[in-house]
A and B are shown apart, each in its own frame.
Chain A
Amino acid sequence: MAPVFEYAPAPESRAVVDIAPSYGLFIDGEFTEAADGKVFKTVSPSTEEVLSEVAEAGEADVDRAVRAARKAFEKWSALPGAERAKYLFRIARIIQERSRELAVLETLDNGKPIRETRDADLPLVAAHFFYYAGWADKLDHAGYGADPRPLGVAGQVIPWNFPLLMLAWKIAPALATGNTVVLKPAETTPLSALFFADICRQAGLPKGVVNIITGDGRAGAALTAHPDVNKVAFTGSTAVGKEIARTVAGTRKKLTLELGGKGANIVFDDAPIDQAVEGIVSGIFFNQGQVCCAGSRLLVQESIHDELLDSLKRRLSTLRLGDPLDKNTDIGAINSAEQLARITALADQGEAEGAERWSPACELPSTGYWFAPTLFTNVTQAHTVARDEIFGPVLSVLTFRTPDEAVAKANNTPYGLSAGIWTEKGSRILAVANKLRAGVIWSNTFNKFDPTSPFGGYKESGFGREGGRHGLEAYLDV
C-alpha cells in the first residue's frame, strides 16, 4: 500500500560550510604541511565526492606537535582555573554559534543524517565544553585532593563514528584540568577537528594548547608511543586498544580506553511494546549502528517474541534511508567502503551460519556506501552475529524465558559497555541492572548521553570513564 502522503525533500544547505581544497596539520597554533609533504583525501561517504585533501602526519610531525604541546603546558597549567574556564566557555559558545555549519560539515564528512548531527552531536559537543569549563576552577572540590595536578601532554586518538563529539569528550576535560593535547582524528573524518582548530583560533586559545594531527593508524601509533606523552586516551576498536595497552606497558603514562561493545537490549514480557520498539531502533540504528554502545543483541522474552518482531519490522519499514543532508532521513551512509565491506562480510557470515536475515524493502542509492537496516532472527549465542561487534545497522535477536537466563545471556560476552532493560516492573529493573556487567545501563530508554553522566566499559570494553566528575580522573595525577 502506497503511503497517503509522500515526504517532500527537505535538504539542508551545503552553502553554510566552506571547505577548503586542502588542509594542513594544526601545530603550535599554525596550519602546516606534513614534513614529508604527504597528503590524503577525505570523501563524503554518501556521494564518494572528494571533499578535501588533508596532510598526513609522519613521526616527525607527531614529534613536533608533542613538543609544541609540552612547551605550551608550562603556561597553560599555571593559568588560574578561572582563566582556563573562560577559554572553554568561549569555545563552547563559538560551537553553539557555528553549530549549523559544523553539523552540515560532520554530515558531509561522516555520512550520518543531519537530523542526528544537528539534534544530537552538536548540542552534546557544546554541552561538554560548558560542563568541563565549569570544573576548571573547581578542581579542588572534585574529590581528588586539595590541589589535583594535571598530567602534562595528552595524546588522544579518536574514532570516526562521532568525530566532533569524541573530540569534545577528550579535549574538554583535558584542558579543564590544565593539560595540553595532541589529538589525532580518524583518517576518514578529519575535517571537523580541523574546523575545531579554527574555533580555538577564534577563541584566542594560546598556541600549542591544542594540536591536531591528521593521518592514519601509523600517526596514532607514533603519538601513543611518543616518550614525552604523559597520558594516552583512545576510543576505538578493542584490538587496537590492546595494542596500545601493550605499548604503554612499563611506562608511567596514564591510559584510558573506550573500546568496543556488543550491548544487550533486554525486553521483558511486561514492557511497553511501542516504546521498546523505539528504543530498539535508536539502540541499533542510531548512527547506522556505528556506535560502540549500540544495542546490537536484542534479548526478547520468548512469550512476546512474535508480537515484538512484528512491531519492529513494521517500524523498520518506515525508516527512511538516503541523502544524509535531507532532514527527513533516518539512516545515512556507512562511513567508508572498508567499513561497508566489513559489515557486509559479517552479515553474510550470519546468513551462512543459518541465522534468518530480514531487511525492509529499501532502495539503496547507486553511489556512496549504504547498508539496509538488517535483522537476524533464529540467532543462538554461538553465532558470529551474536558475538562479534559488527559496528553497523545489524541487529541479532535472541530469546530468553527467565530473568536469570536474560542476565546470563547478556553477560555472555567479553565486552561490557552498555545494556538496555525494558520492563514496567521497577524492582526487576534494579535487580537486573545490578547483575549486568556493563558500564552504562539504560532502562526503558537507550543511547542517551550527557556530559554529567560517566560513560565507559567493564571487561574488554576498556577502562576509565569519560564524562562527569569521574571523567576528570583520567587527566589528573591521582
Chain B
Amino acid sequence: MSDRLSVLKTYKLYVGGKFPRSESGRVYEVTDAKGKWLANAPLSSRKDARDAVVAARKAFGGWSGATAYNRGQILYRIAEMLEGRRDQYVAEVADAEGLSKSKAAAQVDAAIDRWVWYAGWTDKIAQVTGGGNPVAGPFFNLSSPEPTGVVAVLAPQESSFLGLVSVVAPVIATGNTAVVVASERSPLPALSLGEVLATSDLPGGVVNILSGRTAELATPLAAHQDVNAIDLAGADETLAKELEIAAADNLKRVLRPQPVDGADWSATPGTDRMTAFLETKTVWHPTGSLGASGSSY
C-alpha cells in the first residue's frame, strides 16, 4: 500500500467572520515540541490587530444586545462543534504541547466541558452579580451587569487549547467581543477554533483570532483607544507591566496574569474571568410610594 500524500492546510486568521491571511503577507514556522515543522502560521501585524478591533467593535452591539438565552444557545452549539472535531484537536494539542495522545485528549475534553460550563453561565451571571437594592427612599433601584465592550485577550502561552478556551469563553459568554492573540509558539489549535466558531452561528467579529508575536500585537492593542479591556494571561511579567501602563491611557479594565508561572487551567474556574469584564449599571426610578403608611393590605 503506497502512502497517501496528505493535503496540507494553510492556517489563516479569523477576523470579522472571515479567514484572511495577514495583511502583511508574513508567516512564521510552527513546529511541534521536537522541532518538526507543522505549518506556517500567519505572522499578524499591527494592522491586523487594528482590523480585528474594528470587527470586534462592529459586532459588539448585536452580540451584547442578544438575549442571554440566545448567547447560551450559540455557546452550547460551539461545544457541540468542538466535540465533533475532538480528534483533530487532540492531534493538534498533542503536537503543540508535546503530550501523549491520552494527555492531549484529557486537555481537549476539559476544554469542551469548560465551554459547556460557560455556555450555561450566560443567563445566570446577571442574577448572581446583580439585583435589587433596598435604598432608604421611595425608589426602585436595580443593578445589572453589562459587558464592558471589546476585550483584547492574550491567550496563555503554554496551554494552547484548554488555556485558550478558559480565557475566550468567559469574555463572550458575558456579551463582550474579543480580539484574541493565540499562543505564540502553539497557535494552531487557536486558529482551528476559528473554523468551529465560524460554523456555530456565532456572529462574525464576536471572536477574532490572531497569530504571531504576542509582544508585537499586544502593544497596539493595549494602547488602542477603542479597546475597553485587556486580559494579560499570555504576557510575561515585563511585558505585562508595560501593557498595563499603556492600558491606563483610556483606563482599560486589566486582568493581570496569574502571579505564578504555569497557571493551573485544569482547576474549576470561579466567576472572576467573567466579572473582570463586566460593568455594573444601576438604575433608579421613583416608585410613587404613598408615604409611610402605605397600604393596609
Interface of A toward B, CB cutoff 8 Å: 127, 143, 145, 238, 241-243, 245-246, 249-250, 252, 257, 259, 414, 429, 433, 438-445, 448, 450, 452-456, 458-460, 462-463, 465, 468, 470, 478
Contacts and interface: CB of A to CB of B under 8 A. Distances in A.
Interface string B133-162: 111110101010000100000000000000
B244 interface: yes
B128 to A, nearest CB: 7
Nearest to B128: A143
B31 interface: no
A419 to B, nearest CB: 10
Contact of A448 (B128, B135, B241, B244): B135
B272 A440 contact: no
Interface in B246-260: 247-251, 253, 256, 259
Contact of B137 (A259, A450, A462): A450
Contacts of B34: none
A259 B250 CA distance: 12
Contacts of B128: 143
Given A440-B284, A453-B135, A470-B143, 9 more contacts: A245-B251, A249-B245, A249-B248, A439-B282, A444-B285, A445-B286, A458-B148, A458-B279, A478-B272
B228 interface: yes
Given A245-B251, A453-B135, A463-B251, A448 B284 contact: yes
23 contacts: A127-B136, A143-B129, A238-B251, A242-B249, A245-B247, A245-B248, A249-B248, A250-B237, A250-B240, A250-B244, A414-B250, A439-B280, A439-B282, A444-B285, A450-B133, A450-B135, A453-B135, A453-B284, A454-B133, A454-B143, A459-B251, A460-B250, A465-B280
A442 B228 CA distance: 24
A122 to B, nearest CB: 14
Nearest to B61: A435
Contacts of A452: 133-136, 141
A358 B111 CA distance: 63
A287 to B, nearest CB: 18
A444 B286 contact: yes
Nearest to A420: B284
Nearest to A124: B136
A441 B286 contact: no
Nearest to A131: B136
B283 interface: yes
B281 interface: yes
Contacts of B136: 127, 450, 452
A459 B137 CA distance: 29
A441 B141 CA distance: 10
B262 to A, nearest CB: 18
A433 B283 contact: yes
B85 to A, nearest CB: 35
The 8 closest A-B pairs by CB, nearest first: A250-B241, A245-B248, A249-B244, A450-B135, A453-B133, A452-B133, A249-B245, A441-B283
Nearest to A461: B251
B296 to A, nearest CB: 27
Chain B residues touching A, range? 35 or more
A454 B282 CA distance: 7
Contact of A438 (B143, B251, B281): B281
B246 to A, nearest CB: 9
A455 B259 contact: no
B269 to A, nearest CB: 13
A41 to B, nearest CB: 34
A252 B247 CA distance: 16
B284 A462 contact: no
B272 A468 contact: no
Given A242-B249, A249-B244, A460-B250, A453 B282 contact: yes
Nearest to A259: B251
Contact of A439 (B133, B250, B279): B279
A143 to B, nearest CB: 7
B291 to A, nearest CB: 17
A470 B244 contact: no
Contact of A442 (B148, B237, B284): B284
A463 B135 contact: no
A458 B134 CA distance: 23
B141 A453 contact: yes
A246 B248 contact: yes
A208 to B, nearest CB: 28
A124 B129 CA distance: 24
Contacts of B279: 439, 458
A429 B283 CA distance: 10
A241 B251 contact: yes
Contacts of A245: 244, 247-248, 251
Nearest to A241: B251
A245 B249 CA distance: 9
Contacts of B259: 252
A464 B137 CA distance: 24
A106 B10 CA distance: 69
A407 to B, nearest CB: 11
A470 B282 CA distance: 11
Contacts of B251: 238, 241-242, 245, 257, 259, 459-460, 462-463
B245 A246 contact: yes
A238 B284 CA distance: 25
Contacts of A456: 280
A242 B244 contact: no
A444 B280 CA distance: 20
Contacts of B282: 439-441, 453-455
Contacts of A246: 245, 248
A443 B137 contact: no
B285 A445 contact: yes
Contacts of A440: 281-282, 284
Nearest to A143: B128
Interface in B270-297: 270, 272, 279-286
A243 B245 CA distance: 9
Given A242-B249, A450-B137, A453-B143, A459 B281 contact: no
Nearest to A465: B280
Interface in B49-81: none
A310 B26 CA distance: 64
Nearest to B140: A443
A344 to B, nearest CB: 28
Contacts of A238: 251
Contacts of A455: 282
Contacts of A444: 285-286
Interface in B104-137: 128-129, 133-137
Contacts of B283: 433, 441-443
Nearest to B228: A459
Interface string B216-242: 000000000000100000000100110
Nearest to A433: B283
Given A252-B259, A453-B141, A429 B281 contact: no
A242 B137 CA distance: 35
A478 B271 CA distance: 10
